Structure 1
Amino acid sequence: MSNQANSSAVRYPDEASLVERVGPAFSVDGMLAARNKTRAAIGEIASKVRPGMVEEDAVAMAKGVLVAAGLELSWHPTRVRFGRNTLKPMRQPSEAGVVLGENDLFFIDIAPRFEAWEGDGGASFVVGEHAEFERCARDAETLFHDVRRKWLREGATGQALYAYADEVACRMGWTLNFDLPGHRVSDFPHAAIHTGSLAAFEATPSAMRWILEIHLRDPQLRFGAFFEDMLLEDVYY
């Protein structure tokens, strides 16, 4: 083949396309199935959490729920975090032995794999009654959707989405934890494709390629709340 034929036949993707490429097993149906099973597992795990439970026992229970649902424990640890541990960055281990109180806050963060496809999701929950815990948990999910709709409405870049999230979190009275800056998701493992964050992405993210993470923290560092899900259109919510 001549050099001229080569130059006309080969197309080189731009940087954004390289970042958003997927593996050979990627499928829309598979990714949605993994996402739906992840959200269902979060609800089931939350329903089994009770005051008086030790955090380590909740994590063991969560792993059992995932395995019973036919999900593989996948590419990051299964996390259920109670009380003061809700402040911690995800890569920082929990303080051992924390017990969920009668009026308390916890969140779930799981990354199971369903067959070839990655799931990833998180949400916060309150047991008993506590107005500030309830507001923080509600605001984490509200901000997630606010940022997601900015993406839909404006085609904002990943960088712009997290700058906006930081600004709105401050207006809400919280601080945004940038140790959880969003990441790729794909057929397993996405890390073989791209390990950079959504907050650093300089293009408009594509649907079904990214996880948007929102971790709000009390400015006085007493507690936090977390919500994450795949960037998707309104029809999926």
Structure 2
Amino acid sequence: MRNNLLTAISPAISSLVNLTSLDLYENQLTDISNLETLVNLVNLDLSYNRIRQITGLGTLKKLEVLYLVNNKIEKIENLEALTQLKLLELGDNRIKKIEHIEHLTNLEELFLGKNKIRQLEGIRTLQKLRVLSVPGNRLVKIENVEELTDLKELYLSDMGLQDIHGVENLTNLTLLDVSNNEITTFSGAEKLEQLNDFWANDNKAENFNEIEPLSKLKNLQTVYLERNPFYFHDVNQYRRKVMLTLTQVTQIDATMCRQPNS
């Protein structure tokens, strides 16, 4: 029932007790109601509506996937019963704090981009997390992620980070996105031995030597480094210098690369 003009969820839906997936994307819903009997729901998409509060989900104990993108939600709450959740998407809302999700210990993917969050917190117990995405918030440092050792992908772009300290223990990380921040040094990235993708374009790294430690990462395939100060120092030779320094990579910025002849 996506892309309609629904302003409310009809009580008639309550008879669909065997329903496992419900898509109400892009309507005009202002609240969550009349879903209590849908106890077999596994997937629920309420994105792009006008919902202000997370309510009415307490009986949906089988829910594994919940999308609430682009609503008007100010607080994470009322998720106590959803202990089977594997994916929670709350991007593009008005959330200021990560809270009331410590019990969601089966969560594998958490998306909180484009909110008003100032601190990474309340996630230490989420030991099964594989993907954590919080770009476009108000973070100035990376913290409280040390115990998320199974994390594979970490998205932290478009904020005020000045370094990447705090990720050193995330040794299973394959993708790190810290693009468009205030980062002056990439120190710490060289410890991420499983890293395939390092996105750090549009930062404040002055010295080209910042990328040299990345040469130790044998699995590194893709780097985004353009529009750092060192890029502007020698735009014409930038790609060649990166290829000579990071001989293992196959993509620099948006372009595949061939290693220069020695």
Output the TM-score relative to the length of structure 2. 0.21
Q: Compare CA radii of gyration and give the structure with the larger one.
A: 2
More strand by share: 1
Higher relative CO (Cα under 8 Å, sequence separation at least 6) belongs to: 1
Output the TM-score relative to the length of structure 1. 0.23
More helix by share: 1
